Homo-oligomer: A and B are copies of this chain.
Amino acid sequence: MAFDTRPVSSEIRSCSRVAANCAACPSSRHCLVGGAAQNETARWNAAVQIQQSIPAGKSLYAVGDEVDAVYTVRAGCVKTYTVDDEGNERVRAFHLPGDIVGLDALGSGRHLSHAVAVTPAQICRVPREQMRKLLVESPTLMLRLVDRMSATLAAALALAGDYTADQRVAAFLVSMHQKLDPLPGAPARLPMCRRDIANFLRLATETVCRVLTRFEKQGLISTDDRAFRILRQDALRELAEPVGITAPAAPVRLAA
């Protein structure tokens, strides 16, 4: 059991269930509604039923569960994974603030993966029907969603190629740094343990570890436990480029 007992923000500890308030949400700039017009934010806000604090290690849903809602991550980190015939866990994705969890099975109606909080997390719950209605009413949201889903698929397929450990780890660092979006000068802190990173990248834990130490020795990054800074973004991006999971530096453009 991977409980993470680091101190968390008072915000997360205090509220278990509160009324949604997207306009004041600190993660809005990462969220699907971020930058949406006033009335759309309001509509979204009305659809979001519940904000809930999830302790680290707790499951949001399991394989086979009926899909009755999708979730957006407001704070913390949620991982989704599958389990094969032999019981081996296989991390499919890490979901950070603004990401949507639970879209994998909107078609079949039943979840194809497990979702577990990696760190204490705050999530917003959007009932399935509300979500569907929102998307029909708002072309902008729909476009954003399609954009995200295709990006997710591309990221999943990107890991399919036969890349070196260096390329995978570099791509992971760049991608994570981008998503974590730390304040200028501040380090980014990875929410997940090395084992999960390795599993996600299809590498041995030791390999991830060794690559990180080498990157640090080469002056590409600096690390301190789970926190890291990118010292030479150009070199790291060049390494990561063939993997192609890194979005361009500019924020995702949306179709008009």
- A interface, CB within 8 angstroms of B: 84-86, 156-157, 159-162, 202, 241-242
> Copy number in this complex?
2
Instruction: Give chain B nearest CB distance to A201 CB in angstroms.
Output: 10
Name the residue on B nearest A84 (C-beta). Answer: B242
Instruction: Give Cα distance in the complex from A156 to B157, angstroms.
Output: 9
10 residue pairs of the A-B complex, CB under 8 angstroms, read A84-B242, A85-B241, A85-B242, A86-B242, A156-B160, A157-B160, A159-B160, A160-B160, A161-B202, A162-B202
Instruction: Give chain B nearest CB distance to A155 CB in angstroms.
Output: 12
Name the residue on B nearest A90 (C-beta). Answer: B161
Instruction: Give Cα distance in the complex from A241 to B84, angstroms.
Output: 11
Instruction: Give Cα distance in the complex from A202 to B202, angstroms.
Output: 15
Instruction: Give chain B nearest CB distance to A185 CB in angstroms.
Output: 33
Name the residue on B nearest A162 (C-beta). Answer: B202
- B residues less than 8 Å from A160 (CB atoms): 156-157, 159-160
- B residues less than 8 Å from A242 (CB atoms): 84-86
Instruction: Give Cα distance in the complex from A162 to B241, angstroms.
Output: 21
- B residues less than 8 Å from A161 (CB atoms): 202
- B residues less than 8 Å from A202 (CB atoms): 161-162
- B residues less than 8 Å from A162 (CB atoms): 202
Instruction: Give Cα distance in the complex from A139 to B255, angstroms.
Output: 34
Instruction: Give chain B nearest CB distance to A194 CB in angstroms.
Output: 18
Instruction: Give chain B nearest CB distance to A204 CB in angstroms.
Output: 10
Instruction: Give chain B nearest CB distance to A175 CB in angstroms.
Output: 17
Name the residue on B nearest A159 (C-beta). Answer: B160
Instruction: Give Cα distance in the complex from A84 to B85, angstroms.
Output: 33
Given A86-B242, A159-B160, A162-B202, output 7 extra A-B contacts at Cβ < 8 Å: A84-B242, A85-B241, A85-B242, A156-B160, A157-B160, A160-B160, A161-B202
Instruction: Give chain B nearest CB distance to A134 CB in angstroms.
Output: 22
- B residues less than 8 Å from A241 (CB atoms): 85
Instruction: Give Cα distance in the complex from A64 to B201, angstroms.
Output: 31
Instruction: Give Cα distance in the complex from A187 to B157, angstroms.
Output: 35
